[in-house]
Amino acid sequence: MLATDTLPATQQQLSAEALGGCLRLQQTPGVGLLTAHQLLRQFGDTATLFRAERRALRQCVREDQASALLAPPDAQLAALLDATLRWQEQPGHTLLAYGSPGYPPLLAQLAAPPLLLYVQGRRALLTRTALAVVGARNASQQGRLTAQRMAQALSEAGLCIVSGLALGIDGAAHEGGLAGPGSSVAVIGTGPDRIYPARHAALARRLAVEGCIVSEFALGTTPRPENFPCRNRLICALAAGVLVVEAAAKSGSLITARLAIDQGKEVYAMPGSVHATLAKGCHQLIRKEGAKLVESAQHILEDLGLLERAASGTGQPDDSFVDRVLVALGQQALTADQLALQLGQAVADLQGQLLALELAGLVERLPGALFQRLWR
């Protein structure tokens, strides 16, 4: 495991009680994520929620929802809890509950964050600066090659590549991300025990070791159509922007791009021939949605303010700056804002330098957007 993957030893496994409460709320018929978060804000935690009386519940939810919440747990839920506890015990597996230490800050900012995240592999990647790369499942050979090369170039510059493990552009993007130090995160639309599509079984195994796989869906969840828009919102949330490589006029990738726009993220699109069906979606994004036309990884790095850092490769930052940062950090963990204040440097300038220090193995990025010195 890379030095930058070091995580606080305080990360604990979820207890059976905490996990059971999350699963019960997640599996309650008629209660979606928005309602679940409303209930948690009202009652504080699942233990208090499931001890509440009907009258208290009715202040937040409908009668049918209150009845569903008051129904006692059944044998199916008990079996799911048992299986999930066993899943959590496996090496490389982590369960993160909303509000717990280690929960990705970018996902916590969503209007309806997942109650549970099932993580396999290098969960530190979930706090890395990232770019989403998406596109057509039935991509052309040139499109897949372009996606792979773009993703690798961005990964070499330190960006983590996020995608959805689908055929076509997604798979090529993961391959490119894994080829560089930025690595890759796959957000899937099934339970963490399901590989979809099956043709990506080998790629999924690589991601579970060299990269990271994330799901918000319970064990056993099959690839239902309604799961994938949910998956796409997480792909966007984890990334600084979204690159669409190939997409038809009605491609699902356009949904991901519009979700990114709604989240205030940058959208990039690669143009193609005006006669190519798989270029029409990208052209539409550029023409109607305000996507930025890009032809190379350099264009994206420049737009994100990372071009200067990328030009120097993954080499060591300036020695004097290294000393100043390490002295400022000492034994504590600080945010970029706190560091910038101590160093008398603009936060925007500091971000790229911190990324270089992270890649050099001198600093690690912790959950909560904190940075900590790595002692040798």
For the chain, give the percent of residues with pLDDT over 70.
88
Residues 175, 196, single domain; the answer is yes
Q: Is 289 found in the same domain as 191?
A: yes
Model pTM above 0.85:
no
Does 67 share its domain with 202?
Answer: no
Q: How far apart are CA 88 and CA 120, in angstroms?
A: 10
The pLDDT value recorded for residue 351 is 65
Q: What are the start-end ranges of the E strands in the chain?
A: 93-97, 116-121, 130-134, 160-163, 184-187, 212-215, 241-244, 266-269, 292-293, 333-335, 363-366, 370-373
Tokens 């995608």 label which residue?
Answer: 163
CATH code, domain with 18: 1.10.150.20
Residue 320 confidence (pLDDT)? 67
Q: Is residue 105 part of a domain?
A: no
The answer to whether residues 298 and 320 belong to one domain is: no
pLDDT-derived band at 199 (thresholds 50, 70, 90) equals very high
Do 291 and 320 have their domain in common? no
Q: Considering the domain boundaries, does residue 201 fall inside one?
A: yes
Among 136, 137, 135, 200, which residue's Cα sits nearest to residue 161?
135
Q: Do 121 and 207 meet the contact criterion of CB atoms below 8 Å apart?
A: yes
Tell whether 304 and 320 lie within a shared domain. no
Location of structure tokens 């839920």: 77
In terms of phi and psi (left: phi > 0; alpha: psi -120 to 50; beta: otherwise), the region of 317 is beta
- With respect to residue 1, please indicate whether it lies within any of the assigned structural domains: no
Residues 142, 215: one domain? yes
Question: Distance (Å, rounded) from C-alpha 294 to C-alpha 286?
Answer: 10
302 and 333, same domain (yes or no): no
Q: Which residues contact 325 (CB under 8 A, 6 or more apart)?
A: 339, 343, 353, 354, 357, 362, 363
Query: Confidence band (pLDDT; 50, 70, 90) for 70?
Result: very high
Q: In total, how many domains does the chain have?
A: 3
Q: Which of 66, 89, 112 is the last residue before a domain boundary?
A: 89
CATH number of the domain bearing residue 329: 1.10.10.10
Examine the domain organization and report whether 173 and 196 are in the same domain.
yes
Residues 24, 28, 34: CA angle, nearest 5 degrees: 100
Do 174 and 287 lie in one domain? The reply is yes
Q: Which of 14, 27, 45 is nearest to 219 (CA)?
A: 27
Q: What is the mean pLDDT of residues 206-216?
A: 97
pLDDT at 317 over 80: no
User: Do both 365 and 299 map to the same domain?
Assistant: no
Which residues constitute the domain of residue 361? 315-373
